[in-house]
Amino acid sequence: MSGIMGTYHLDGCPVNRKYLEKMVDVLAHRGPDGADIWVGESVGFAHRLLWTTPESLLEKLPFVDQGDNFAITSDARLDNREELLYKLQVFNLLPDKITDSQIILAAYQKWGEQCPEHLLGDFAFAIWDKQKQILFCARDHFGVKPFYYHHQPGKAFVFASEIKALFCLPQVPRQLNEVRIGDYLALMMEDKAITTYKDILRLPPAHSMVVSQSGIQLWSYWSLDLHREIRLASNEAYAEEFRQIFTEAVRCRLRSAFPVVSHLSGGLDSSAVTCVARDILAETGKTPLHTISSIFDKITECDERPFINAVLEQGGLIPHYVHGDEFGPLSNLDSIFQYEDEALLGPSHFYPWIVNCTAKELGLRISLDGFDGDTTVSHGVARLTELGRQGKWQTLIQEAKAIAPHHNISPYAVFRHYGLPFLRDLVKQWRWIEFARAVQLIHKHFGASRKLLIIYHGIKPIWEQIQRFWKGGHKQRTSSHSSLSETPLVNHHFAERIRLDERIQTLNPPRESPLTLKEEHWRSLNQGILAYTLEQMDQYAAMFSLEARHPFMDKRLIEFCVALPAEQKLYQGWGRMVMRRALAGILPEKIQWRGGKTNMSPNFNDGLLNRDRQILDQVMSHKVKHLEKYINLDFLQAAYQRMISAGNQVSDDDCMAVWQAVSLALWIDYKKVIP
């Protein structure tokens, strides 16, 4: 994790060095190990250096080639260094004397604007090509490294790792982007380009960009393949392949000149990262892995110590703890808002804040986590939908029975949700024999009434079809459904003004259930919320001069997991089955075969309603009224009253609505943003 920034005067005016100096100062937290500036007439780069990898100790950025034709500033960790060095064959130095930025620049010199297609790892960089008079920029596949920019056509282009650095230039406006506020209040974070500020954009993940005097060209250099399939000989072969890829993903993120810490929560994902990292470090004789875990002495239902201890008891770790129930979600917002540029905080923001604060106090600077292993490997629940579509009723029933105990619900409740809707499909397709067989199976396994199944899922759908036909319903009609009916927190007039309903329909349209588990898996990894969450995690680490590394965000691992057969994701009721098999003997069995995970809502609710109650009441009484143009205050106040009166039965919907409004009100008040 470092800080990059720069400016390109498209009108040919010389760069004023003092503005780059201001940008460097503002991003001091991102790189305490050094800072430098390079100016080349109408282009200027700056850099804040955080030593992380062994090669970074030799890094000097911005870097200019010997011919003075190219300059680069980058925040990067390359995971395929050996492959790239072999392909490039341009260095006369030992590999450990070559920095990642030098490799990226050499890749650009060889492959030009296609160079990101050859890179693997986490990166954001900008290269000035003097001969072509262009600025070439790129960002990694999932958006681990941030890249923000402001463009004034024909005048200037400015970029940085954080938005606050852009405000050092007088031409960059600090004005609220109301469209982004509408998206946030509607819980629709699919736009991968806009930010909370007008005219400040993000380079989307897996995108490259060329900036020249004629404008901006932006394109995607990679996308996740929906159609790739992997077929191996056995369950053991799938597990072995997963273990190799996952181990390599962790190994790459252990490339460090300093001790490493892992966020150990006790869940399957963080435990997997911790155990594999521990074993790799032990094999190489390096400093043992540190761990930091959140524990809960007061809100004991959130405490994961039995699972955390199962990992620690294996040895080879240096444990540390933070008390997750001593802070509330509003407790440290003033400190967070010093660094956090956007208003769109998630309810769990304070966990990484206190964990990273502890890592800083321990003198650590590289942190691993199990971020979004759920999405990468997939619990595979959509396999039930796939089985229903395929008419594989026996297998669907078996999986429903097996998965139910892991989620504390009845097998028939699982089947009713995922299986019964497809009975109607059989009727609509006039497949009555298959319908009758399915009814018999459902009756046999769940004791459901055959008569009621036939009436409600056989006769009723046919009668509805006949009625629609006689009423002219056989003609196509345009749906008049409004997505805004599902977003009651948003002020109706505000929603109409920014055309929020159109945005929701375009960016997050109502769609039928995915035809396959693979399609659902693919969709989940293309959500805009993923990139935004990674950007937030970068800032939470940057506050404390840390670099956050996420093994489950490895391109190779994600491509492998998406391409797996459905039964490797869900099998006999166990989600993420390939991972459970792969880590046998590495994970404690108590975690390897853990069914669910602890719900952290009780701690959040207690923090909001008790530890931070004074702040909550004050904001609701005095500050949220300033959001009247954006929020339906009647709905908000009703949700607030229900929440404070509910005791231990707080509604998640009410809590989320109040949290969105309160955090937004506090952010606007702190930042003094112009609406």
Model confidence over 354-368: pLDDT tens digits?
999 999 999 999 999
For residues 530-543, average pLDDT: 94
Domain identity same for 293 and 353: yes
Same domain, 30 and 130: yes
* Mean pLDDT score, 424-428: 79
Two structure tokens written together for 277: 């990292």
Mean pLDDT of the chain: 91
d(CA 265, CA 20): 40
Q: Domain for residue 490, yes or no?
A: no
Range from 234-238, 399-403, 507-511 carrying the lowest mean pLDDT: 507-511
Same domain for 159 and 20, yes or no, is: yes
- How many CB atoms are located within 10 Å of the residue 492 CB? 12
Indicate whether 78 and 203 sit together in one domain: yes
For 160, the enclosing helix (H) or strand (E) is strand 156-160
* Domain annotation covers residue 509: no
In a domain, 504, yes or no: no
| Whether residue 115 has pLDDT greater than 90 | yes
Q: Let me know whether 46 and 185 are in one domain.
A: yes
Instruction: Say if residue 245 is in the same domain as residue 200.
Output: no
Higher pLDDT, 342 or 465: 342
pLDDT, residue 477, reads 41
Q: pLDDT-derived band of residue 673, with 50, 70 and 90 as boundaries?
A: confident
Is the per-residue pLDDT at 632 higher than 90?
yes
pTM of the predicted protein model: 0.93
Could you tell me the residue range of the domain that residue 661 belongs to?
601-671
- How far apart (Å, rounded) are the C-alpha atoms in residues 427 and 454? 10
What's the pLDDT at 468?
A: 60
Residue of 332 and 133 predicted with greater confidence: 133
Is 517 a member of any domain? no
215-220, strands of its sheet edge to edge: 63-64, 70-78, 121-129, 134-139, 207-212, 215-220
Please give the single-letter amino acid code of residue 55: E
Chosen domain end from 437, 470, 503: 470
Which of 470, 497, 521 is a domain's end point?
470
166 domain residue, yes or no = yes
Checking if the pLDDT of 479 tops 50, the result is no
Assess whether pLDDT exceeds 70 at residue 108: yes
Q: Are residues 108 and 156 in the same domain?
A: yes
Q: Is residue 568 part of a domain?
A: yes
Question: Sorting pLDDT into bands at 50, 70 and 90, what band is 454?
Answer: confident
- Residue 201 sits in the same domain as residue 292: no
Helix (H) or strand (E) holding 465: helix 460-470
Stretch 621-635: mean pLDDT, rounded?
94
Tokens of 317: 């770790």
Claim to verify: residue 64 and residue 121 sit in the same structural domain: yes
Query: What pLDDT is stored for residue 512 in this prediction?
Result: 65
pLDDT (mean) for 45-60: 96
Share of the chain above pLDDT 70, in %: 95
The rounded percent of the chain whose pLDDT value lies above 90 is: 74
What pLDDT, in 10s, does the model give residues 564-615?
Answer: 999 999 999 999 999 999 999 999 999 999 987 888 889 999 999 999 999 9
Q: CA nearest 260: which of 535, 537, 554, 549?
A: 549
Q: What is the DSSP string of 501-523?
A: HHHHHHHS---PPPSSHHHHHHH
Res. 628: pLDDT tops 80: yes
CA 521 to chain centre: 14
- Output the pLDDT for position 335: 85
Residue 475 predicted with pLDDT over 50? no
3-state secondary structure of 18: helix
Res 675: pLDDT: 65
Number of domains in the chain: 4
Q: What is the pLDDT of residue 480?
A: 43
| Residue 162 belongs to domain with CATH number | 3.60.20.10
The rounded distance, in Å, linking the Cα atoms of 616 and 18 is: 42
Residue ending a domain, choose from 470, 504, 525: 470
368 with 391, same domain: the answer is no
Statement to judge: residues 11 and 115 lie in one domain: yes
What digits encode the pLDDT tens for the residues 141-167?
Answer: 999 999 999 999 999 999 999 999 999
Specify if 199 maps to a domain. yes
Q: Do 146 and 16 share a structural domain?
A: yes
The pLDDT assigned to 518 comes to: 94
Is 80 exceeded by the pLDDT of residue 674? no
Whether residue 441 is contained in a domain is answered as yes
For residue 264, pLDDT over 90 is answered with yes
Of the listed ranges 225-239, 242-256, 493-507, the least confidently predicted one is: 493-507
